[in-house]
Structure 1
């Protein structure tokens, strides 16, 4: 008999967690499980990639509203209130949206759905959560120990890096709680990355070094820091270009900053693209300017494409870059980014060792292995 699984996530917009979830779903055998994927908002670039055998349900439809324009406020307010009501009175959600279906497993695909899954009226279902972010001491998250402890209400806590695993293990009070924590590398498809990287045009025509960065345009990603460092280096006579690929609620602010700094000629904001891999492949350097991360998926993609990497020292980076053998890890600050980029421009030969190490590096983030591990958890609960 097929296990009935409910998976919850906000939408399938272009974030790392969303991409990872869809990659996981695409690699599941379709005859083994019955899956309902419940979205708060039916939108996102990855919707089209969800396998047809998965039943997609939603609370609201349409694009995410990231502005406060007068004409958008009624729709925005309705969505917020509607979702709040269904979160507070979860029995209404299960009765009217999920049609009283009984689930064997309820799965929060991101940490933000912790309370929704733990407050499910279906007390007999087994509950799993997937933690993609470092929830301790960041500008966006600052979970107290008491808040962290609530995650132990799940039967399994899937974490994606050693750092996050350590944070949870430190707060586990019993062996049983410790056994709930399992580290699983994100399922990512190296073959797909390599194949898609061949789809674009040939080598970049730029005569100056190009630094590329890919990610959702949130303050977390530090694109403001990247542009300010770019300006500083240009003023010092270091010719180079910046490319930023991605979209998000901070896009207009970054665009505004780009104009204020007077770097519109030397930096490009491309918005979201379905296939960033040819651009990554053709750039000189990949740069991660993030203020914080959980386990930055995009670095895995840059490693797969054997790029020269500069990254701020955020959660997951030391693990991914083999403690600095595969790329330059810099202090998590504007000065750190500046030092790393200046080194790349002044001493490009210092990156040759990283390239050499990448040539002989075997990636431990195996797609089949990750999918099998998650299926194992589901099957044994």
Structure 2
């Protein structure tokens, strides 16, 4: 919500008036000098939206404020062109409304366009979020990163490396949404103050690594590629189980961590709906984007959300640091998922991250069944994902 300040207004006063942490207001308005604000200067207020209200008979600002649970001065601030003593029936004013529930979807899968719309809505309501297009897919769709906080501890999380695991994007966006609500309302997270967590944490989220693949599974092929992808899909126009990117290359088999062993072990030797690692590592723009992001930011810890198995993998070739085991034990306890140190798998993003940086990396296999998992599992998956997320950011 955007407001225009009046003479004498300060960010501290706005924080008190709207019950929003001052540091989040300051983070949302980094272009403003808080000691030299000018009348009519615009300030973005996180955690609020303005909703229209039509004046009824006998309405006053005091009455409206009481009914809506807001301060009278918040109405005056939001409706500076109105004269409170001369409100006319049918006249429209605006009322500030605090966002108190997540608005990430829980019943509708997110394709790349719906994800972009959701990210834009989150950025509008929580303007302390930073977003960036860190790369593009084969078809030119943006690979979007969301950043929250500027603390020293750098944690990265991603979802939908695999197309038919699109539920992971929904889960990660919902987990993020709950975190934002905790910040705005100054809730505690696992016994720690949300502001203290924000201060020490830099959180990076890529909610959809494989937008072309997700769109293919959810919406079918683009017209100009229909013949090619049906051919890769062994003549079928049913793409529900497709894992790869739009070129038939498995993005989580694309990284230079014993890639040659992965190539030898995988059955597909040509583009396929799943498991083909390509002709060389890092040939696909989506994989290159994720490798470049890790090299640029130098994350301290990585979580890659996948499905399915109700387990997670935390080691690679003995290169994982000692702290990985400690965190794995804690994640196993809070989630109920089985901690698995080693699997006969190579060339994954987590594998490469551990090999490259010798830092903790985890592949989280949410839920159990056949991909794509049904939305009926979503509540249980989300509950466990929240436990994992909160444990990691407070560890």
Q: Which structure has greater helix proportion?
A: 1
Q: TM-score, normalised by structure 1?
A: 0.26
Q: TM-score, normalised by structure 2?
A: 0.25
- Structure of larger gyration radius: 2
